[in-house]
Structures are given as C-alpha cells and as structure tokens.
Chain A
C-alpha cells in the first residue's frame, strides 16, 4: 500500500487523522447537514469538507455537480495518488465500498418529486448523480484511472471487502495496480433508520464497555493505492504497509443481528489467518468492528475469545468507532488506514470511552494511548446482512 488518503471528523488528511487516532480523540457534534430536531439522538461524527475540489481532469461542470460523497472521495483520492506518486499510467482497478452512494442527492430528488409544486428542473441531473456508481466514475475520470471498477455495497463491511478484493486482483496479476477504499456521507434516511432501530447511543459510543448502549454514526472516506511489493520497492516508494490476508464469510443468523457466538466472525478470522499463514500469536493488535451496540460487541468478543483461545489475554483490541463513529461503507477502509498508521508509528489507538470493559472480553481492551511495536494487525468488519470481512496488515521493513 503505497498511498493513502483520508477524511474523517478528526480532520482532512493522513497526518491529522493519525494524530487524532493516536490520542483516541473523539470528534462528534450535533448534526448540521439535516434536521435532527425530531430524532431521539442528535449527534454524529460529521466532518467539515475542505473548500472546493482538488485539481483533477474533471470539467468545471462535472466538479460543480459533485455530491458530498463524491467530494470526500475525490479529496481522499487526490491525497492517496499524490502519496503513491505513480508516474506511468497502467491498468488500474478501482474497487470502492459504500452503503449510501449519492443518497443525499436522492433525498433531494424525492423531496422535490412529492412537493406541492413539483418541478422537473434539475431532477434529471439528480437521477444521474444519485446512482452509486457515479462517484467511482468521477474518481476514475478525475485521475485518469483506466481499468475494471466495482462498487461494493455490503453494508458495514463494504470498505474492507473493497480493499480485500482489490488486493486479490493485484496479487493475481489481473491488474497492475488498484485504487480502493470506501466512502459514505451522512444522510437523513440512514440516520433516521438507525435512530428508528434505537441502535444509536443516547449517551456516548463506548465499544466493549459493560454499559455500552449503541453506536454513533460518522462520515468520511479512505482511499489506498495498491501495487505489488516488488514494484513498490523497485521504484523506492514509501510503503505504508502490506496486506497479508483477506477473508469474507456470511452470517445467516438474522438480517440485523449477528449470531450470538459470532460463528461467521470466527470463521472469517480463522480463514484470514490461514490466508496470511499466521496464527493468533502473530497478531499483536485487532482493530475490532466494535460498534458499541450490546449485540455486536458481545458477538465479536465471543468470536475473538474463541479465535485467540488461550492467547486471548495477550491480544490488544480496540475500536476506533469511539473516535469517528461508524462510517458504514467507509468504516472498513478508514479502519484499515488506522491499522497502517499504527503499524508505521508503532502505537495502539485507544478506545478512551470504554471505562469498564465488558466481562465477556477475555482480551485486553486498549483504553489509553500507548506505544507498541507492531508486525501484524487485524481489522474486522462485521456488518448488517451478515456481511463479514477481515484483513491482516503487516509492517514492511
């Protein structure tokens, strides 16, 4: 992974986010993008978008029409590609995860379509920009990326799936390089949806805390540049880290609830280790899915306990959703970025809001910032609909 670009509520850019995640800083506020006055919960990890758009091949017309999700994606893509500093164009896959795509545009379309005086003006444009494939097309066109493209909408695992699938395409030699990651902008439909399910915390997002009461939503984007390790070494690129394994499985227990014993999560964690040729003893840190809901964290704790077995106590686990919320389609990608930052910097990102770890956790929940030499870390994404994915990332000497 030779390039990374990132926007979250902690800030714009890799360095600003690394500083925030290292401290375990939380960045939530009352939502400003839409009316939350009638919602049970009113806060989210909403970000301040940079002004304008980065320099790209997009025409002014295209750039001006870009929706919020596209803007996040384009900023993250620009930082990523600047870091990768690829000089010659090659066949490059684009694999992105999202759950909402251009949903904010779709919401605007609907409001106007049902209004008392519906107007057709501008509506056709909204239809085009609502489509979830539009944002990835813009990214490809903005930076001249030619090759296959996939937009994965696997709920909360989308970003991890996108990174894993892109890795598979590069290592199989189907493409020379890949740009991958995830993005999601906060929107009213999804916010109200989680609120209606009473899945949002009415206090504070506290993953793995005994008194946790729900998740907090966030928004952002993370984009990575992938290329074969030998190619990165040959051209002397800055290597952020190496993907060592990817696995995905499906939990068919329930549409919205994970299996209480985390059966599919355990399967995913075991298989990702097989892919990487590693055992739990080789993994120093797990960036958990850790949403902060009672059911998710209990299920994931059971899976981590079973996966690590007698070695559980030696494994450090945290959830960075306590800092930037649950970014849904971008979550797996942002958490991949956190893992790369931790590997490169030699530190563990804390879950500072976890005061009293749940007794179900036989592993060590990291609650304060600490330094740690890391070689291999795991990132879990266990999502809605039973979409489970795990990645193993390693430090490259």
Chain B
C-alpha cells in the first residue's frame, strides 16, 4: 500500500467543523462542553455534540438533498467535501472517478428510532418521510449527490474498526484501478438511544458525534502514506479468546515491536476498563508518544476511529512523528489497526 497517500482530510467533531478545530482541541487537551443524553426522564450519560455550523459551513453544504436529513448526513457531507477540496490541490484525479467508502457503527439512528417509534404506535401511520433516511447508505448517497460522484460508492458497517476496514477497501479499489481518488468518510450522530445502549457498558466516556474523512489517492508526493491495515483479530472472553492476545497480535502486525521514540501511537480504548487494560498491555513497550483521542473527544465509534487517523496523518504532515500507528479495539468484537508513515 506504499503508494496510497492521504491527499486530503476533513472533520466535524465536538470541537467544531473542520480538521483545524479537531487538531487544535486534541493538542490543547482542554475539556469540551458536555450535554446530558438519555431517554427522557430516565438514566442519562454525558454526550459531546457537534456545535452548530457557521453560516459559511451552512453555505458550503447547502443542497436540496440535505433539506430533511439528520445530523449524520450533514456531518458526512461536510467532512467529505473538506477532504475532497484539499485533495484537489494536492493530487490529480478525474472528478467522475472519485469513489466513496462510508463507514458507520450506529448509522442513521435518529430517524430509525423516530420511525420505529411511529411503527410501534401505529404502523399504518408511520411517516414515509422518515424511512428513506433510516437506511445505512443514505449519507453516502447524499454525499455523492452533493459533489456529483457517480463512481463506486460503498457503505460499511461495524464497530469503530470499520473505519480502518474502509481505508483498506479504498486502498484496494485505488490499486485495482477502479477509482482515481477515494473518500473514506466515517460519521455518527448522537441520540438518546445510543446513550442508553452505551450506558450498559461504559459511563465514564461521553458519547460523541461528528465525522472524519480521508481522501486517499495513489501518488509519489511527500504525503502521509498508508503502510498497512491489519486483519481483524477476534476476542470474546466467553468463547476463550481473550482481548489481550488479540490486541498483541494486532500490535505485532502493525510493526509495533520495531517502534522508535519518533513514532506516535493513537490509542483507541474508551470507557471499557477490561479493554483499556488489554490495550495498555499490548502496547506496554511502546517507546514513543501516545495520544488517546477519546480523552478529549469521547466515544465517537467509527467517526472516532477516523479522528484518530486524522490526528496521526496530521502529526506526520507537521513532522511531529515518522510513523503513526492507530490501535482500534472495537467494542466486544475485534481489534484492527492501521499504520501510516511519511
């Protein structure tokens, strides 16, 4: 994958609408404003919401397709367009051969919840206005419509590791010659249902919403390069597959053993103590700097994984690191990692 480079990046996060806002917030480490989220009148947990977009951002994502959409589609479009715009200045590609790989863990949960609530109240009266935007690939479809992308367009679902799988798929399609440039976008939106679900496992890390995007292309320019995406390593304590073994395998596949003090580790555990312990054990001998994006940004699932990759690629661009390794222990399913270098 050595010719696969990060030609552009885009982000929407609790810190704001843009990569600069995300990177600055991680660099400063200052706490962001939290909200409380939960079923009305019941258990609530902390949440980090994306702030309202500025007029400039609203003008940038103004499109008929986005008239009735929920947050996830707006986030995906804004991050995707930011990454695409930056890529236009760095690499050459045919606009009709831009692919999209969209990744999400929770998908279009707000409209899904609203629609299903209506179904439970009276299926004969559930609104057809809501249903189309419940579908997993709706955000990817909107993004393509906004920039006129008629090329390949895939939506991948899974836990946070799905963002790394999306990067791998995009790299494959670039190397196959199917696309000239591929936008990998991961997005999530906050909803009380997500908070309710997360509350069964972790209450110490707030749920977060937003999107992250990488525009990948083939190039020999001095840009952050994708070195590898590991195979998924499964863990399930109940089935005799401990997390620490899986994470150590992932770390070894990423080349963690050969790390130097100049390398940067983007750790990925959030509020699951057992998983955090396993990740710490897997990277116990790590000699370089470690950043955990979730400390500032909360649990953003697939979007959070993309924020990790953006922070890594940004550090490479600024010369703060020679390699950036992204560790992604997904909630209860598998560990996967991605490695970048300059």
Flag if A248 contacts B153 (CB, 8 Å). Answer: yes
B158 at interface, CB cutoff 8 A: yes
The total of interchain contacts (Cβ-Cβ below 8 angstroms) comes to 194
Assuming the contacts A133-B162, A250-B149, asked whether A152 and B144 have C-beta atoms less than 8 A apart, the reply is no
A53 to B270, CA, bound (A): 35
Q: Which of these, A35, A131, A174, A193, contacts B172 with CB under 8 Å?
A: A174
When each residue 224-236 of chain B gets 1 if its CB lies under 8 Å from chain A and 0 otherwise, what string results? 0000010110101
In this complex, how many residues of chain A approach chain B with their Cβ under 8 Å: the count is 70
* Given A61-B238, A196-B131, also A189-B112 (CB < 8 A): yes
CB–CB B149/A153 < 8 A: no
A 165-178 binary contact with B (CB < 8 Å = 1; else 0): 10011001010000
A250 in contact with B144 given A153-B156, A192-B119 (CB within 8 Å) = yes
Asked if B142 and A255 sit within 8 Å, CB to CB, the answer is: yes
Are the CB atoms of A252 and B159 closer together than 8 Å? Answer: no
- Of A66-74, A224-232, A318-326, A381-389, which binds chain B? A381-389
Q: Check A90 for interface membership: any CB of B closer than 8 A.
A: no
* Any B CB within 8 A of the CB of A150: yes
- Contact indicator A384/B333 (Cβ below 8 Å): no
Chain B residue, CB-CB nearest to A37: B123
Which residues in B have their C-beta under 8 angstroms from that of A109?
A: 197
Given A131-B158, A172-B175, A248-B152, check contact A189 B134 (CB 8 Å): yes
Contacting pair A133 B158 (CB below 8 A): yes
B55 interfacial contact with A, CB 8 Å: no
**A99 sits at the interface (CB 8 A):** yes
A140 within 8 A of B: yes
With A155-B135, A249-B150: A189-B119 Cβ-Cβ less than 8 Å: yes
Q: Is the CB of A128 within 8 A of B332?
A: yes
Task: From the candidates B120, B132, B172, B201, name the one contacting A127 in the complex (CB within 8 A).
Answer: B201
A255 x B200 contact (CB < 8 A): no
In whole angstroms, how far apart are the Cα atoms of A279 and B240 in the complex?
53
Main SS class of interface, B: mixed
Given that A107-B116, A127-B201 are known contacts, is A150 also in contact with B122, CB under 8 Å in the complex? no
Residue A309 CB within 8 A of the other chain:
no
Select the residue from B42, B116, B122, B240 with max chain A CB neighbours within 10 A: B116
* CB-CB under 8 A for A99 and B145, given A169-B172, A172-B172, A198-B128: no
Q: Which of A110, A132, A137, A148 contacts B234 (CB 8 A)?
A: A137
Q: B173 to chain A: which residues have CB within 8 Å? A: 168
- Which residues of B lie under 8 Å from residue A211 when comparing CB positions? none
Q: Which of A149, A188, A385 has the most CB of B within 10 A?
A: A385
B314 contacts the other chain (CB 8 A): no
Contact indicator B333/A196 (Cβ below 8 Å): no
B contact residues around A124 at 8 Å (CB): 200-201
Q: In the complex the two chains form, what is the Cα distance from A98 to B158 in whole Å?
A: 12
Chain B residues near A134 (CB-CB < 8 A): 333
Mark contacts of A151-170 with chain B using CB atoms, 8 A cut-off: 1 yes-contact digit, 0 otherwise. Answer: 11111000001000100110
* Interface-lining segment among A12-20, A113-121, A282-290, A297-305: A113-121
- CA gap between A118 and B200 in the complex, in Å: 13
Whether the Cβ atoms of B144 and A386 lie closer than 8 Å is yes
- A-B contacts, 19 listed (Cβ < 8 Å): A38-B124, A59-B238, A110-B116, A110-B117, A123-B197, A134-B333, A137-B334, A141-B234, A149-B232, A153-B136, A189-B119, A193-B128, A195-B123, A196-B126, A196-B127, A252-B148, A255-B145, A267-B150, A387-B137
Residues of A participating in the B interface, judged by any CB pair closer than 8 Å: 35-36, 38-40, 58-59, 61-62, 91, 98-99, 101, 107, 109-111, 113-114, 118, 120, 123-124, 127-128, 131-134, 137, 140-141, 146-155, 161, 165, 168-169, 172, 174, 188-189, 192-198, 248-252, 255-256, 264, 267, 384-387
